[in-house]
Amino acid sequence: MSVVVPLVSGVATGYLAWLAEDRDTIRGLIAACSAAGLSWQCGLPGCLASLAVTCTWLRLRLEGRSQGRVVCCKPDDSMECAAKTRATIIAQIVQACPSLASPRYLPTLWAADTWTNCGLFIAKQIYDKSCLRRDKYTREVLILEDGGTVSIDYAECPEEILDTAPIVIFLHTITGSAKETGYFMRYAVERGWRTCVFNRRGHAGLHLTSPSFNVMGESRDTAAQVEAVRKRFPESSYLAMVGISAGSGLLVTYLGKEGDSTPVQAAASLCPAYDITRAFSRLSMNYPSVDKHILGSMKRLFLKPNLAILNDKSPEALEDCSAATTIHEFLHAHWPFSGAGSLEEYWAENNPMEWVDKVARPTLIVNAEDDMVCLAENIREDIVAALPGALLLRTQKGSHIAFNEGIFGTGNYLSRVTMDFLDAAMAVSKSQAKKDL
């Protein structure tokens, strides 16, 4: 026991000090040795004292970095009427939303690093998908004009949430489904919203029924799913949409193509990669292990269960996809399965940067500086600053869509600030509707 206490104290204190000093290994080792020595001399009281001091030190350092930064286009009299209206709405939303007027994200102390934050998030997702967590969904399957299949998973809601309640739609990650989005859906229900996830072709246990899939998602499929939701809940008072990681690209592409005709009234784009023609090439260079892991998941999802139907469509494209060694190469190789006539046409139809300036709904964008997938160097503040109706929130911490918060990491800042934005957007919209009467 006399060896165990100093060892535990040294390792824990050193790790926390390493986090406090931005991965400074030397200071972490000094703190670890000091804590181990104090624990050796004083036993358990020395261990507790060293941990308390280091936790306080870490918290103070994290609080100093917790302030987020907001970027948006300010309303100006020189703007066209529609642009000024969208910019004014964003200003009103920020004013009505304290978590955006003065944004602050304080990560879970012991999971404040990029990788530990992400690791905790993955552990929570594993729990969500296990038999220990039984989220209940009602699935609606849609057969599209070309014979392709998509689905919508609706979260079970308590009786007090009426058919007139607002609805928030989630667009999942690159290989995700409702199971990976459960924490968002549960929180939205807690906030009084109905919620669902749009599962893209090949996702959520449904094999391809036509030789067509799009890694980034197909906006026409999304439009069909939106209409299905409206048909199911015609009395709903408000419709919002949230894109998560790769789903954020589909969100912008869909909203841009639909323009003012979309029934979606507010949106959130969470951890986007911006220009997909180059974003993933940077990922493979900066974090090759992350790129390799995601690529493996993509091949298992899109290729392995659908070899026969894809081979009938294009043996060459299937071979190129199978041979791809990075996400960027896979994107380049899979365009024949997307319905595009060429790679250039694929980028023109699916790169969100081609459609972002046509988005006509208030949209929150959230990025973390320490995101290892959607890198900070990809963030385009210049576009957001010139785009009325868009609001960018940049935080120093958060990792990739993790954003754990709370002592035990059970909370999620990303879901909280997203729902704060949507609630404020809905309140501003209803207030404006009353004025127009």
SS3 of residue 163 by DSSP: coil
CA distance 351 to 40: 59
User: Are 164 and 49 within one domain?
Assistant: no
176: domain CATH number?
3.40.50.1820
Digits of tens for pLDDT over the chain (437 positions)? 467 777 777 777 777 777 777 777 777 777 767 767 777 777 777 777 777 877 787 888 888 889 999 999 988 888 888 889 999 999 999 999 999 999 999 999 999 999 999 999 999 998 888 877 777 899 999 999 999 999 999 999 998 899 899 999 999 999 999 988 989 999 999 999 999 999 999 999 999 999 999 999 999 999 999 999 999 999 999 999 999 999 999 999 999 999 999 999 999 999 999 999 988 888 888 899 999 999 999 999 999 999 999 999 999 999 999 999 999 999 999 999 999 999 999 999 999 999 999 999 999 999 999 999 998 999 999 999 999 999 999 999 999 999 999 999 999 999 999 999 999 999 999 888 777 66
Last residue of a domain, one of 17, 39, 64: 64
Q: Which helix (H) or strand (E) holds 363?
A: strand 363-368
Tell me which residue range forms the domain holding 27.
4-64
Last residue of a domain, one of 64, 79, 111: 64
User: Are 47 and 157 within one domain?
Assistant: no
User: Are 183 and 125 within one domain?
Assistant: yes
Measured in whole angstroms, the distance separating CA 367 from the mean position of its chain's CA atoms is 9
Q: How far apart are the first and last CA of the chain?
A: 74
Contact 393, 364 (CB under 8 A): yes
User: Are 17 and 101 within one domain?
Assistant: no
CA distance 190 to 168: 12
User: Are 408 and 355 within one domain?
Assistant: yes
User: Are 337 and 196 within one domain?
Assistant: yes
> What is the total count of domains within the chain?
2
User: Are 33 and 95 within one domain?
Assistant: no
User: Are 211 and 302 within one domain?
Assistant: yes
User: Are 30 and 90 within one domain?
Assistant: no
User: Are 87 and 141 within one domain?
Assistant: yes
**Other CB atoms within 10 A of residue 197 CB:** 31
